[in-house]
Amino acid sequence: MLPDEIDQLILQLAASIPPPEYDNFITAAYAVLTEIDCNQLGPGLAYRRLRDLQKRHYDYPPDARAICGPKHYRPSRLATGPAIGADDPRAGGRERRALRAV
């Protein structure tokens, strides 16, 4: 028999798991926690034991960003357009000097 706070923790961690794996997670969680000595069992230790178990039972949704690649490599109007801002004052110096000499 586990304390009520541990039961609540199990239900909180199971809330995000889809229905097919929900019952499997709860059964596995009770099996993992019954192996721990009752004198050592607390919410912190229970959470540390159950977080990895939850990751194994949770089916993460696909990440559409991974299909396209990193966002900073995709073309954009700013990246493909002409440079903006003032030119460097040193730019075109040869042409200006050539025009002065004439």
- Domain locations in the chain as residue ranges: 4-57
Closest CA to 3 of 28, 34, 35, 48: 34
| pLDDT tens for each residue of 19-53 | 888 999 999 999 998 888 877 788 888 899 899 89
Residue 98: what pLDDT? 79
Query: What is the pTM for the complete model shown?
Result: 0.56
Is the confidence at residue 85, as pLDDT, over 80? no
CA 18 to chain centre: 19
Q: By C-alpha distance, which of 70, 50, 67 is closest to 7? A: 50
Which of the four pLDDT bands, split at 50, 70 and 90, describes residue 102? low
